[in-house]
Structure 1
Amino acid sequence: MNGVVLASPGAGPTSLSPSAGPSRGAVEDVAEEAALAALLRCCVREVAGPRGQVWPAGPYLLLRMAGDLIRVPTSGGLALRFDGPAERLDTGSWSPLSVDELVQLVESELGGTGHNAPNRDSAGEDAPAGANEEFAGQVTESRAAISTLLRARAGTTPPEDPWLASEQSLVYGHPFHPSPKSRGGSGWVRYAPEAHAAFPTRLLGVRDDLLATGGDPQVLDGLGQAPPGYTLLPAHPWQLELLGAELAAPFADGRLVDLGPSALPAVPTSSVRTVYEPQIGKCLKFSIDVRITNCVRKNAWYELTAAAELSTRLGPVFADLGRRFPGTRWLREPGYRSASLGTRLLEGLGVIVRSSPWEVTGPGVTPVLAGALAAPDGGDVPGALRRDPSRWWGAYVDHVALPVLDAYFRHGVVLEPHLQNVLVGIDAEGMPVEAVFRDLEGTKLVAGRHDVSGLPGQVARAATYDATRGWNRVVYCLMVNHLPEIAATIAGAAAPGDGGVLLRALWADARERVARYAGEHGHPLPLRDLLAGVPLPAKANLTARWTRSADRDTGYVPVGNPFAGIPT
């Protein structure tokens, strides 16, 4: 990989090496800083910003929360990188802001008791938005999880496979989530990718008359041998612990049999529940019945069916994208298996087969998780990026952004190109030459562009978006979640004082590339709006956690468009 080192992107600092054996105090300081940064970004984007309570002031960004003034030095544009500690104005002087203090301000603001509380009624009295007794605990839990992960990584060795090493590098999580490392259950560190975990999957046999299957999952048979009358079904050991008593009866009466651990350790990838199974060279997407960040990570029955259906339908789409945009790849999900033991266990034991990126990348090309390239300090990046950042960025935009736009406009397909769903193929020079798109749960067909009349109702709904919702998802993932983080990393690697100039040049270059694509395809209205600099939709993760909404119901807030103000 020409010296590429995979750093931890997202909300946290990178001054502390996770494998350096840090002291407990140092770990807690890093976790505090990471948790504070993530929550503060959400406050800027979802609370203070929409209410007109954010102002630039030299190197600082000022914001007001529940009447209190906060300042923090920033860079990176839309990515909102923090270049120093956040402070709170207290009796005329600035003092460090803590996570617990910020949580209290959020609770006051969103609970309707702060000076800037929303939802005032016609008499001018506060109409409280409602309390959330879980919120502080979720933020605290996430901070504690970061501490746990940093300690667990100390003295461990990342996988030799650079792709798997990148999958396991996301210690700090989503940079715009109030509790990016919150996860339910107990004993999870044994299965945490960020802790460099590896473990054998558990092999079950499901009685043949109870087998639930779709598509072509036959590759699973390479994991072991089921007894006569049974079919092999791999399971995540954490999920078996979580299901516990619900499995007692099926095991007791022989509907299921326990065949023991798989022969080789599986390696968990960034989503926690998806693992790489080296014995068959495939990824397996399991259900895990705990909430990780926003939602419980289970394979709903209709999502099992939709994955196999989309794998069939998307073959011609990606064949065309590959011809039009060489280097475009995708990871098929050709089939699934489970057990017909009621909906709860059908979903709980469901496993989706997914291709591995090594199956689709070209010779001499190394797949790397895009999120691992979004290091906040720009410290560990491909050498080619440092030598020629403009050329590197241009190649990146061409390989990642343009196929996503073409999938939507030409084929009516919504890809979900956020930082954990895209793998970037890096050549020996360190240049981006491929983009690998994955996770069909987030991939949708635009309603009206595809015939889904033959699918069961819930499967059709799981596989489709209307055009507006689909475009919002595309433009959020691409223009808010993904490209700004990569651009900020590139700008952060520039010489001191040059980052801002480089950042503007990067966005001007990206706009030119998107404009060229738009001109070749009749200037569709969504692209005209995007190029004109209209505000972009940003997923409102803080609001979703506060209102305890399902992830699928999470709304958007408007944020600035990095194309705004660029001369045409």
Structure 2
Amino acid sequence: MNGLLLDPHSALAEEITLGALLRCCIRELCGPRVRTAGPYLLASIAGTRVRVPARGGMSLRFTGRAERLAGGVWEPLTSDTLIKLVERQLAGGGEGPGGGFNGEFAAQVTASREAVAALLAARERATPPADPWLASEQALVGGHPFHPSPKMGIGPGSERYAPEAHARFPLRLLGVRADLVAGQGDTSVLDSMGAFPPGYLPLPAHPWQLELLAPDLREPLADGRLVDLGYGSRPVFPTSSVRTVYEPVAGVCLKFSLDVRITNCVRKNAWYELAGAVELTRRLGPVFDRLAERFPGTRWLPEPGYRSAALGTRLLEGLGVIVRSGPWPVCEPGVTPILAAALAASPYGTADVRDTGVPEAAEARRRTDPVTWWRAYVERVALPALDAFVRHGVVLEPHLQNVLVGVDADGLPAQAIFRDLEGAKLIEGRHDLSGLPERVAEALTYASDRGWNRVAYCLVVNHLAEIAATVAEAADPEEERQVPRELWAAAGKVLSGHAEDRGWPAPLRALLSDATLPAKANLGVRWRRHADRAAGYVPVANPLSSMRPDL
């Protein structure tokens, strides 16, 4: 593929795809063999020397075109060439994930690249939502910056349901015969979403999922266990996860099953996850009350109920919908919720995709007063996430798509809103789960070490490092090297002060003293075709370790 001959959308999709795959390679395949030479990072992949101009730090922000050395001459590196190099190294038994040849890998990366191009084209024709929070949810065209195929599930035609294309659409409404309704908790908000016949209860459904389930639905629709009530009259807006939509009239989010593999997972609500969401909502209410007392500005989005149809496991899971609170009611007056991943999107790089919803005051404040803005950010996001683990034995999984940041009128982070209970877990041994079905209890728990890896990765490597990199990119070029050091020094002071208040518990001591942190190995899990829960970790340099206190 010659990027010089591509249309603008395909050229940008190629740049995004190449950058994400190359970041995965540098992190997971090259490790300590990566070195710097002037503005370049130098690496070797399958015996081929590769270089790319980049800023320092674990976020690997590239500042120019990647190249490979061929016949003694540096020439542009393309994603197709890089795919072949990855295949050669991993299938050939070189260092890295290994696991034999993966015949799906190239097609997955290519499909993701084509999806990004289609999303860019669709986005150009669409109107972004007026709601800044929704705009931020729909801003992630490039997807995960350390994933080889972040958009592979968004194929041709599915742009009509894609948040990045500013989609909006009505839900389909099913009626479930009353004796076959399955669910727990409070789902009364669903009853206002359309008229339904006597003897039935309404079950909103994602239209894409109904297309995928069509063969399984024929019989229950034919014999009256389900009735098709057609499309609803109110539009919904897909959020960043694709399958979760916002219903603005009711002011709630609805998390549907979607039998599509997006990044590493088929996005289906397993039966034990449906029950687990309601159970966690009950258990985490008191925890968040205490966190909010200790850290003003801490909020969360409960998931008070789910509804489905008791028509066998396939349809119970496939039609299951989880009700989640919307973000606006938990925001203080004058505070605007913004998806953290949109705050991490670079407005300064060559792969510039705007309409992020980020308020101008926030952009201006973090550009003119980066350390103050960053310190407020760390205080709002990191402290409650760490205290939830250390004090309460709760893993909140605070990655960039699971946290909303409330920005006040002055552009400063004022609130942190945690969401998505699928990734939230309870540390085993610290909670009484007796009485729960065994599979539900198992899905709700992590061993302590696994939980800490997840917190350290999601909070620092996935989240804070990307925010810090975006803040630093706005700095004057003459201060480019100094600003990241100032940011991490400020973070170290905030976190060490918290650790001291808590008596230096072991996890916080490790966070501020260990030389490395765990980074999730998305390339490895895709190559091996494993489920996301089986993903391993690779070590990356800890930017907080140089600020460790004298312990």
Partner residue in 1 for 2:353: none
Distance in 1, Cα, partners of 2:515 & 2:437: 38
User: Per-residue CA shift, 1:16-40, capped at 9, x if unaligned?
Assistant: xxxxxxx961111111110000000
Partner residue in 2 for 1:531: 512
Partner residue in 2 for 1:29: 11
1:185, CA displacement in angstroms? 6.3
Partner residue in 2 for 1:455: 436
Partner residue in 2 for 1:383: 364
Distance in 1, Cα, partners of 2:50 & 2:148: 17
Secondary structure, in 3 states, of the residue corresponding to 1:480?
helix
The yes-or-no answer on 1:557 pairing with 2:538 is: yes
Partner residue in 1 for 2:292: 322
Question: Which residue identity lines up with residue 388 of structure 2 in the other structure?
Answer: A
Match among 452, 466, 469 for residue 485 of structure 1? 466
| CA shift in 2, pair 1:185/1:333, >3 Å | same
User: Does structure 1 retain, via aligned residues, the 8 Å contact 2:140–2:240?
Assistant: yes
1:555, CA displacement in angstroms? 0.9
1:117, CA displacement in angstroms? 5.0
User: Does structure 2 retain, via aligned residues, the 8 Å contact 1:185–1:290?
Assistant: no
Q: What are the equivalent positions in structure 2 for 1:40-59 lying under 5 Å apart?
A: 40-49=22-31, 52-59=32-39
User: Does structure 1 retain, via aligned residues, the 8 Å contact 2:212–2:259?
Assistant: yes
Partner residue in 1 for 2:476: 495
Question: Which residue identity lines up with residue 423 of structure 1 in the other structure?
Answer: L
Partner residue in 2 for 1:97: 77
User: Does structure 2 retain, via aligned residues, the 8 Å contact 1:76–1:487?
Assistant: no
User: Per-residue CA shift, 1:404-458, capped at 9, x if unaligned?
Assistant: 0110111111011100000000011111000000000000111111100110011
- Worse overlay, 373-382 or 445-454: 373-382
Secondary structure, in 3 states, of the residue corresponding to 1:200?
strand
Distance in 1, Cα, partners of 2:178 & 2:534: 38
User: Does structure 2 retain, via aligned residues, the 8 Å contact 1:66–1:105?
Assistant: yes
The yes-or-no answer on 1:156 pairing with 2:126 is: yes
Identical-pair percentage: 63
User: Does structure 1 retain, via aligned residues, the 8 Å contact 2:383–2:495?
Assistant: yes
Secondary structure, in 3 states, of the residue corresponding to 2:28?
helix
1:337, CA displacement in angstroms? 0.1
Partner residue in 2 for 1:416: 397
Secondary structure, in 3 states, of the residue corresponding to 1:108?
helix
Partner residue in 1 for 2:330: 360
Partner residue in 1 for 2:223: 253
1:57, CA displacement in angstroms? 1.4
User: Does structure 2 retain, via aligned residues, the 8 Å contact 1:182–1:293?
Assistant: yes
Partner residue in 1 for 2:354: none
The yes-or-no answer on 1:540 pairing with 2:521 is: yes
User: Does structure 1 retain, via aligned residues, the 8 Å contact 2:303–2:323?
Assistant: yes
The yes-or-no answer on 1:187 pairing with 2:144 is: no
Q: What are the equivalent positions in structure 2 for 1:394-405 lying under 5 Å apart?
A: 394-405=375-386
Partner residue in 1 for 2:448: 467
1:356, CA displacement in angstroms? 0.4
User: Does structure 1 retain, via aligned residues, the 8 Å contact 2:99–2:527?
Assistant: no
Distance in 1, Cα, partners of 2:386 & 2:437: 29
Distance in 2, Cα, partners of 1:430 & 1:262: 38
The yes-or-no answer on 1:223 pairing with 2:203 is: no
Q: What are the equivalent positions in structure 2 for 1:165-204 lying under 5 Å apart?
A: 165-183=135-153, 187-204=157-174
Q: What are the equivalent positions in structure 2 for 1:120-135 lying under 5 Å apart?
A: 129-135=99-105
Identify which of structures 1 and 2 has the higher relative contact order when contacts are C-alpha pairs closer than 8 Å and 6+ apart: 1
1:538, CA displacement in angstroms? 0.5
User: Per-residue CA shift, 1:77-115, capped at 9, x if unaligned?
Assistant: 1111000000101111110000011001100100016xx
| CA shift in 2, pair 1:27/1:190, >3 Å | same
Secondary structure, in 3 states, of the residue corresponding to 2:515?
coil
The structure 1 segments of at least 4 consecutive aligned residues displaced by more than 3 Å after TM superposition are 116-119, 377-381
Distance in 1, Cα, partners of 2:485 & 2:274: 43
User: Does structure 1 retain, via aligned residues, the 8 Å contact 2:96–2:524?
Assistant: no
Secondary structure, in 3 states, of the residue corresponding to 2:152?
coil
Partner residue in 1 for 2:503: 522
Secondary structure, in 3 states, of the residue corresponding to 2:546?
coil
Partner residue in 2 for 1:19: none
1:277, CA displacement in angstroms? 0.9
The yes-or-no answer on 1:438 pairing with 2:419 is: yes
Partner residue in 2 for 1:20: none
Question: Which residue identity lines up with residue 69 of structure 2 in the other structure?
Answer: L
Distance in 2, Cα, partners of 1:180 & 1:325: 34
Match among 58, 61, 64 for residue 44 of structure 2? 64
Question: Which residue identity lines up with residue 84 of structure 2 in the other structure?
Answer: Q
Distance in 2, Cα, partners of 1:473 & 1:497: 36
User: Does structure 2 retain, via aligned residues, the 8 Å contact 1:149–1:194?
Assistant: yes
1:378, CA displacement in angstroms? 4.4
Distance in 2, Cα, partners of 1:357 & 1:218: 19
Q: What are the equivalent positions in structure 2 for 1:327-366 lying under 5 Å apart?
A: 327-366=297-336
Give me the CA root mean square deviation: 1.4
User: Does structure 1 retain, via aligned residues, the 8 Å contact 2:118–2:156?
Assistant: no
Question: Which residue identity lines up with residue 354 of structure 1 in the other structure?
Answer: R
| CA shift in 2, pair 1:414/1:274, >3 Å | same
User: Does structure 1 retain, via aligned residues, the 8 Å contact 2:492–2:548?
Assistant: no
1:278, CA displacement in angstroms? 1.8
TM-score (norm 1): 0.92
User: Does structure 2 retain, via aligned residues, the 8 Å contact 1:206–1:232?
Assistant: yes
Distance in 2, Cα, partners of 1:485 & 1:211: 43
Question: Which residue identity lines up with residue 550 of structure 1 in the other structure?
Answer: A
Distance in 2, Cα, partners of 1:509 & 1:490: 13
Question: Which residue identity lines up with residue 30 of structure 2 in the other structure?
Answer: A
Distance in 2, Cα, partners of 1:230 & 1:496: 64
Q: What are the equivalent positions in structure 2 for 1:80-119 lying under 5 Å apart?
A: 80-112=60-92, 116-117=94-95
Match among 262, 268, 274 for residue 292 of structure 1? 262
User: Per-residue CA shift, 1:317-345, capped at 9, x if unaligned?
Assistant: 00011110000000000000000000000
Question: Which residue identity lines up with residue 364 of structure 2 in the other structure?
Answer: G
| CA shift in 2, pair 1:486/1:76, >3 Å | farther
